[in-house]
Structure 1
């Protein structure tokens, strides 16, 4: 069982698609999936559909289970956000490409509804032959000992050796009627006729900072703003400073150092442009830490937020929300350490309710440690979003020999780390699975989540070694301890014997020399 794109930091549409194709290539390269093998993909979002399309190209039979009544359901909530495949790669080179450039389900930057149409058209071609099931509620997955596993849902059943959970991150709660989840339609970009409003934005991740920009800068779009800023020759030096910050492990481990490094970046031409494009809203950003330019956001958003703060376009408040209510048309906010304040609107960006934990709680618990580890990794060095499949790995589906050529290309993937497919999927393995049979990078996947008998993944020489993390029986732990003690005792006995032999030998040698 593979968990795809549910626990990673970089969660753009493009990065989720790359993880899906990396996993498809990794499964073929590791001989986990062969031609005509049945694969079940849970989730018909960008990651799930792209992975399914890649597996179809490689000759697998794919069933996609989706809880909603359509594919790409998040894209249908009316959001006016602008999607771009590379803007969050800034300051790395190539960020300003217009197309994703993917072998399947490719798309060009645009508003959400435009990207939706492109992906729908691409899936209509690539998904031909896939079994797509909608309105799927409860899903039953057999244990790892059952091979192939039996997967059941309300209206169907399948047997497979490979299950891919691509259920996404979930949606944010929206306690007030006029709050919106990240993908829902909102009115942030429009000015009210009755004048500017007083806004409170809570959070310091990418979602919160993007909403902050939209409220403070007229007609804000990441790619448009960056293109305007990069015309200044001083931007080259600034980009290099940011690369150095992101490559500095000491800075990345210390939230205060990271915040200060971005706060001290000085781009007066950016500040001036932000002041010229300023909207009239009175905006407050609240976060529980003073270091709001932290690892929760991308380098791009940290940089822009730092310059927006220099431009004095928002007020920052270090505090926590205690309660939020509506009274007399105002939002009444009680803070933990500050006085009660009244706002016209509030938008909380505290993260989504985990779709993985909701649908598959045991699996969510199994990958929780890895999820936390990933949250502290620098985003620019997150390899799960890098392409690890070789050129031509997915071939051309409509040409003679396309599947065979694609599989041959995928199988040529080197086992070396720098070329190995990396799916961004963590796989705590079953203790019953053959150790070391999956020689893929630990980020590429591990095999078969099996609760409660999970296993520990240990890096070794760039590969993975799977070892049981729990004893097979109640007495196994004691037996292992006794075995270790016995081995230690045997080692001590051997050492003592060796010393005795050496001492006796020396005495004999001295006697011989004395007699001569």
Structure 2
């Protein structure tokens, strides 16, 4: 189960303590805290509260905190129709990141999950794309203000600081300060999304704010070289700061893309998974990384390439109370990149100094700071350092002081819950149901009437589109869509609505591209193929009629694309289509392209088809062989059915003729080099509805060796005539002697011609007699050939 799969009641359990009904917290103690993940939690909470019995139409709601979580929660709840008021002490929403130069990326911390390098958040409301914090917040503020102008039930109160919150009867009492005055408001439901507070202070250390512009790490703060730093903390903040100090012109997203591009396939993800799997909870990852990742880095020259990016003008100490790279303490990709950079520095002879312990005090001294409580190699750290960066986590207790007892209740609740339910610790991914829920409300309530229809059409197209692309983080084929390709394939000819398969990669990069094209044909028009302008010419070589389309952007999560079962799905589709045609013919006593059937013949055929159908359906390899020969008389490469429904009448007719032949000469589907049926002890027959061999009619094959079987049952041509070649016994010539000489005689032939159609109409006995005579003549030819060879 993923976090997105959690039932609504579990989401509400995560967000609030049963002891304080109607009070909720967003992402306060969750494992993955990012701008995007807080928005996902907010929407999921709002969606859970929309369920029957959770909110009454007249309930009023307060949301405290106008960061990513609070703003998104406010809009989500307002779209439900309730009166919602948003409070924040700042003068504007999203104030923390509003001028931040740090790059915001929605998914980068989700690696190794596929899609972790997607620049677009993919949210139904307040969506955004990767950029620096100021640009993202500016866009979201504009979007929120536009929504506020249309939603009369949404109110924003900036410059309001929460001072206390408590229960008053059945409602919640909020006390806030604004402009030196105290105001009191009552609400039916309260959501606290007030963030996490500043870093826990320690002595004289100068706070280094994660989101704010800061001179530490810049040339202006380094009057001489090497500048000395200590970074304390092994979470994402500490590891990111370490990378920032070590890498020239560090930009988190650009560096991440560069690092991932050192690997041309999925090896890094696979190897990282193996490294993590071998480490116990809270274990040290470095040893495992050394076993699994270091050989990969060495083989691909990753450390050499990273060495070119390393700075040599900084003396850095990294401190942690336990292992620097500890399981669950930071995002996997940050840990992998930090390990790689540390190993690159070691390879250059510039290893980064490690310290351990709890910092108990930071004292300002001449030339910098002294840090108390740490040891390096077992000895106390006594030297003076110019810069101290503490990443020990936020001071949540201080931030939630106005709701201290309620905060403690919630902390106790989620701590106990986490011990019972490890699945609740999964990072969140927005589920399809929640996305659709808010997308529909966004169109209904935030768009004018003139644009609603166009938006609804866009939604229909987006939900019908399956995008196939190469994931830039894992370098593997992925699909994004409401349905998976395998789900579409399993019912391709039964689809009730069109599905658009949009290729965002060239055919050469998509394993199974030909099978996807066959699948589209097999759907009989329900699957539409499209491609963006960049790959159009390549795809037109494979599918001349493919349509060009604008670049597709899908909000659905990326999934690994598996095309291995496509051929089986297409075979199953053809079997279903044949079953419908055959049973229809047996019920109506009439077969398309063949004409009338004698009732008795149809009645004996029906149980035979039931038995054949069951054996074919149960054995995928047998079904593949049977259908491949049924659709194509092969020359060199096996050629399965191309998916064209125009061929199905001939294929179904061939099946009917094969089944009817069984009642004069027992046959069964089987494996053979040149056929799909077996009879007698080891004889091979070919039953096919094929009309062409390559670019020519199958009637051009008139020699036994071209067919290579003992019997032919053909529905696609009435002109097939197979001769006995010169030198065979039947024309009086002397047969060749020796094992190298061909010994095949003219096969038995039952074809869709006037003579055999007449037998099918007359009677069961007449049909059996004609089949028996045809196969008796075959055996007579074979016996004569064997007799001559034995002389």
TM-score norm. by structure 1 comes to 0.70
Q: Secondary structure at the match of 1:102?
A: coil
- Displacement of 1:196 in angstroms is 2.9
**Are the equivalent residues in 1 in contact too, given 2:42–2:69 (CA < 8 A)?**
yes
Q: What CA deviation, in whole Å up to 9, does each residue of 1:375-411 have, x standing for no partner?
A: 8999998445221343420121225699xx99xxxxx
**Are the equivalent residues in 2 in contact too, given 1:45–1:72 (CA < 8 A)?**
yes
**Are the equivalent residues in 1 in contact too, given 2:111–2:331 (CA < 8 A)?**
no
Structure 1 equivalent of residue 133 of structure 2: 112
Structure 2 equivalent of residue 61 of structure 1: 83
Structure 1 residues 305, 182: CA separation in 2 closer, same or farther (over 3 Å shift)? same
Structure 2 equivalent of residue 287 of structure 1: 320
Structure 1 residues 290, 96: CA separation in 2 closer, same or farther (over 3 Å shift)? closer
Structure 1 residues 150, 179: CA separation in 2 closer, same or farther (over 3 Å shift)? closer
Structure 1 residues 238, 16: CA separation in 2 closer, same or farther (over 3 Å shift)? same
Matched, 1:229 2:259: yes
**Are the equivalent residues in 2 in contact too, given 1:259–1:292 (CA < 8 A)?**
yes
Q: Distance in 1 between matches of 2:393 and 2:253?
A: 24
Matched, 1:242 2:272: yes
Return the match for 2:231 from 189, 195, 201.
201
Structure 2 equivalent of residue 358 of structure 1: 401
- Displacement of 1:70 in angstroms is 2.2
Structure 2 equivalent of residue 5 of structure 1: 27
Matched, 1:94 2:115: yes
Return the match for 1:341 from 383, 393, 401.
383
Q: Distance in 2 between matches of 1:244 and 1:342?
A: 41
Q: What CA deviation, in whole Å up to 9, does each residue of 1:460-511 have, x standing for no partner?
A: xxxxxxxxxxxxxxxxxxxxxxxxxxxxxxxxxxxxxxxxxxxxxxxxxxxx
Q: Distance in 2 between matches of 1:27 and 1:153?
A: 25
Q: What CA deviation, in whole Å up to 9, does each residue of 1:264-319 have, x standing for no partner?
A: 42223432232111122111101122454442211111111111221125221223
**Are the equivalent residues in 1 in contact too, given 2:62–2:189 (CA < 8 A)?**
yes
Q: Distance in 1 between matches of 2:421 and 2:239?
A: 18
Structure 2 equivalent of residue 187 of structure 1: 215
- Displacement of 1:374 in angstroms is 8.4
Structure 1 equivalent of residue 447 of structure 2: 398
Structure 1 equivalent of residue 46 of structure 2: 24
Q: Distance in 1 between matches of 2:174 and 2:190?
A: 9
**Worse-superposed segment, 28-37 or 41-50:** 28-37
Matched, 1:323 2:361: yes
Tell me which protein shows more helix as a share of its residues. Answer: 2
**Worse-superposed segment, 212-221 or 178-187:** 178-187
**Are the equivalent residues in 2 in contact too, given 1:322–1:335 (CA < 8 A)?**
yes
Matched, 1:369 2:412: yes
In structure 2, stretches of 5+ residues that fail to align are: 1-22, 346-350, 457-791
Q: Distance in 1 between matches of 2:339 and 2:253?
A: 18
Structure 1 residues 309, 41: CA separation in 2 closer, same or farther (over 3 Å shift)? same
**Are the equivalent residues in 2 in contact too, given 1:334–1:341 (CA < 8 A)?**
no
**Are the equivalent residues in 2 in contact too, given 1:295–1:376 (CA < 8 A)?**
no
Q: Distance in 2 between matches of 1:259 and 1:381?
A: 27
Q: Secondary structure at the match of 1:228?
A: helix
Q: Say which structure, 1 or 2, has more relative contact order (CA 8 Å, 6+ apart).
A: 1
- Displacement of 1:74 in angstroms is 1.4
- Displacement of 1:139 in angstroms is 4.4
Q: Distance in 2 between matches of 1:259 and 1:373?
A: 30
- Displacement of 1:365 in angstroms is 1.1
Alignment of 1:376-391 (within 5 A): 382-383=425-426, 385-388=428-431, 389-391=433-435
- Displacement of 1:336 in angstroms is 4.4
Q: What CA deviation, in whole Å up to 9, does each residue of 1:157-202 have, x standing for no partner?
A: 4443221111111111455474412222112442335333011111
Return the match for 1:166 from 193, 198, 203.
193
**Are the equivalent residues in 2 in contact too, given 1:197–1:282 (CA < 8 A)?**
yes
**Are the equivalent residues in 1 in contact too, given 2:31–2:427 (CA < 8 A)?**
no
**Are the equivalent residues in 1 in contact too, given 2:62–2:87 (CA < 8 A)?**
yes
Structure 1 equivalent of residue 689 of structure 2: none
Q: Secondary structure at the match of 1:385?
A: coil
Return the match for 1:39 from 42, 50, 61.
61
- Displacement of 1:100 in angstroms is 0.9
Q: Distance in 1 between matches of 2:217 and 2:185?
A: 46
- Displacement of 1:206 in angstroms is 0.8
Structure 2 equivalent of residue 304 of structure 1: 337
**Are the equivalent residues in 1 in contact too, given 2:104–2:136 (CA < 8 A)?**
yes
Q: Distance in 2 between matches of 1:133 and 1:107?
A: 24
Alignment of 1:477-496 (within 5 A): none
Q: Secondary structure at the match of 2:85?
A: strand
Q: Distance in 1 between matches of 2:131 and 2:204?
A: 29
Q: Distance in 2 between matches of 1:106 and 1:308?
A: 33
Q: Secondary structure at the match of 1:316?
A: strand
Q: What CA deviation, in whole Å up to 9, does each residue of 1:124-155 have, x standing for no partner?
A: 112333211123234444427x2344444345
Matched, 1:261 2:288: yes
**Are the equivalent residues in 1 in contact too, given 2:165–2:403 (CA < 8 A)?**
no
Structure 1 residues 362, 60: CA separation in 2 closer, same or farther (over 3 Å shift)? same
Structure 1 residues 326, 80: CA separation in 2 closer, same or farther (over 3 Å shift)? same
Q: Distance in 2 between matches of 1:29 and 1:227?
A: 41
Structure 1 residues 111, 342: CA separation in 2 closer, same or farther (over 3 Å shift)? same
Q: Secondary structure at the match of 2:38?
A: helix
Q: Distance in 2 between matches of 1:351 and 1:326?
A: 22
**Worse-superposed segment, 270-279 or 368-377:** 368-377
Structure 2 equivalent of residue 84 of structure 1: 105
**Are the equivalent residues in 1 in contact too, given 2:205–2:362 (CA < 8 A)?**
no
Q: Distance in 1 between matches of 2:126 and 2:72?
A: 6
Structure 1 residues 242, 138: CA separation in 2 closer, same or farther (over 3 Å shift)? same
- Displacement of 1:5 in angstroms is 1.3
Structure 1 equivalent of residue 307 of structure 2: 275
Structure 1 residues 379, 93: CA separation in 2 closer, same or farther (over 3 Å shift)? farther
Structure 1 residues 151, 254: CA separation in 2 closer, same or farther (over 3 Å shift)? closer
- Displacement of 1:216 in angstroms is 0.4
**Are the equivalent residues in 2 in contact too, given 1:199–1:344 (CA < 8 A)?**
yes
**How many residue pairs align between the two structures?**
401
Structure 1 equivalent of residue 249 of structure 2: 219
**Worse-superposed segment, 158-167 or 82-91:** 158-167
